[in-house]
Amino acid sequence: MTQKTLVIGDIHGCFFEFQDLLASAGLSDGDSIIAVGDIVDRGPETPQVLSYFQKTINARSLMGNHERKHVRAARHEVSLSLSQQISRQQFGDSYQAALAWMETLSLYIELQEAVIVHGYLEPDIPLDKQNPSVLCGTMGGDRILRERYNKPWYELITADKPVIVGHNNYTRTDQPFV
């Protein structure tokens, strides 16, 4: 049997919906789960979602703009939005440990079949040289792309493999953007 990889976008603290998705995916013990980031904030069960990715061996998450903002706010570089302040309250005494874990998250994952990032990619720049703001999909990363290019980033990518992202609903429908 072939090992499967389920890539999930933007869970945003919705643990029970995430569990429903996993149940319907029909994964086996050897299959893996990759979240594209933004596993925290907005939903009512942010600590449970983060705990799942901390404790589940075959599951990992990228750093999305929401995780990055928590980390940067802890360094006093930015302020938390209301949804992030609520998440901080949800974590309670475990917030510092959650921050420490979020800080370890990767900005991208390169699989044999695809490249996975949370936000965007800048064309013709190697993955390890990409701007973290671009990879995470921050407002600053969006501004960088608008200032440097006259087309959407995804129209300029000439990679050998597909790029899987979360962050935006490019089609404005319930259909995936390919």
C-alpha separations of 149 from 3, 15, 153 in Å: 38, 37, 8
Q: How far apart are CA 26 and CA 37, in angstroms?
A: 22
Contact yes or no for 40/14 (Cβ under 8 A): no
Q: Over 70: is that where the pLDDT of 177 sits?
A: yes
> Structural domain tally of the chain?
1
The one-character DSSP state at 137 is: T
Question: Residue 173 domain-assigned?
Answer: no
CA distance 88 to 161: 37
Q: Supply the CATH number for residue 97's domain.
A: 3.60.21.10
pLDDT tens for each residue of 58-78: 999 999 999 999 999 999 999
Average of per-residue pLDDT across 135-142 = 94
Arithmetic mean of pLDDT over the chain: 94
* pLDDT at residue 147, as a whole number: 96
Q: What is the pLDDT of residues 64-116, one digit of tens each?
A: 999 999 999 999 999 999 999 999 999 999 999 999 999 999 999 999 999 99
Domain assignment of residue 152, yes or no: no
| Residue 117, beta-bridge partner list | 108
Provide the residue range defining the domain that includes 48: 5-117
Specify if 124 maps to a domain. no
Residue 135 placed within a domain? no
Can you give the pLDDT at residue 49?
98
Does residue 146 fall inside a structural domain?
A: no
Higher pLDDT, 52 or 3: 52
Per-residue confidence (pLDDT) for residue 67, from 0 to 100: 97
Angle, in degrees to the nearest 10, between helices 82-91 and 95-103: 120
Position 105, amino acid: L
Q: How far apart are the C-alpha atoms of 175 and 62, rounded to whole Å?
A: 23
Length of the chain: 178
Name the percent of the chain lying above pLDDT 90: 88
